[in-house]
C-alpha cells in the first residue's frame, strides 16, 4: 500500500479538500466505489440500525425558510406519503403499497420500481404516519411531505 493520498470523488467533494483519517480510509474507499443506489440503500440500513435519519437536518433547514414558513408548517394537516427507497424486501414493500394505495399488483410494482414516488397524497397526519410505519416495517424508506 502506498502513502499516496487518493482524492475523494470529484462529484462528492465539488472542490473541497477532504483529509480522511487513516482509520476511516478503507471505509471511505469502499463507499467511493458504490453506486448511488447502493449508497442510498446503505444509508437506509444505517438509519434503521441506529434509529436516526440522515434527512432530518435537511428537512429542518427546508422547513425554516423564515417566520412565514414556520407558521405554514404548523398549520399543515395533510401529508403526501412518498416512497423514497425500497430496501431488500421489494416484494413486501409492493404488498404494503398495494394495500395502502388500494391499487392492483402491477400498479403497485410499477410504483415501487419508479421510487421515489408518492404512494398516497393529501392524507391526515395520523394516517400518513401509520402508512409510513407499515412501509418502513416492510423495509422501505419513506418521507412525509
pTM, two decimals, is 0.48
pLDDT digits (tens, 9 = 90+) for 109-140: 998 898 889 988 888 888 888 989 999 999 99
> Does position 13 have pLDDT exceeding 60, yes or no?
no
Exposed, middle or buried, 102 (CB in 10 Å: 0-12/13-18/19+)? exposed
Question: pLDDT category, 143, cuts 50, 70, 90?
Answer: confident
CB 119 within 8 A of CB 75: no
Topology (CATH level 3) of domain 77-144: Ribosomal Protein L30; Chain: A, (3.30.1390)
Annotated domain spans of the chain: 19-75, 77-144
Exposed, middle or buried, 81 (CB in 10 Å: 0-12/13-18/19+)? buried
Strands (E), 7-145: 78-85, 117-124, 141-144
Amino acid at each position: 500500500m502506498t502513502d499516496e493520498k487518493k482524492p475523494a470523488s470529484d462529484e462528492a467533494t465539488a472542490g473541497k479538500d477532504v483529509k480522511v483519517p487513516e482509520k476511516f480510509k478503507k471505509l471511505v474507499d469502499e463507499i467511493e466505489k458504490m453506486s448511488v443506489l447502493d449508497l442510498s440503500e446503505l444509508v437506509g440500513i444505517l438509519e434503521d440500525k441506529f434509529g436516526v435519519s440522515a434527512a432530518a437536518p435537511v428537512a429542518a433547514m427546508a422547513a425554516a425558510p423564515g417566520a412565514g414558513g414556520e407558521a405554514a408548517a404548523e398549520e399543515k394537516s395533510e401529508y403526501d406519503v412518498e416512497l423514497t427507497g425500497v430496501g431488500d424486501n421489494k416484494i413486501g414493500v409492493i404488498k404494503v403499497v398495494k394495500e395502502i394505495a388500494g391499487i392492483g399488483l402491477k400498479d403497485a410494482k410499477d410504483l415501487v420500481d419508479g421510487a421515489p414516488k408518492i404512494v398516497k397524497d393529501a392524507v391526515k397526519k395520523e394516517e400518513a404516519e401509520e402508512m409510513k410505519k407499515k412501509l418502513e416495517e416492510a423495509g422501505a424508506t419513506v418521507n412525509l411531505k
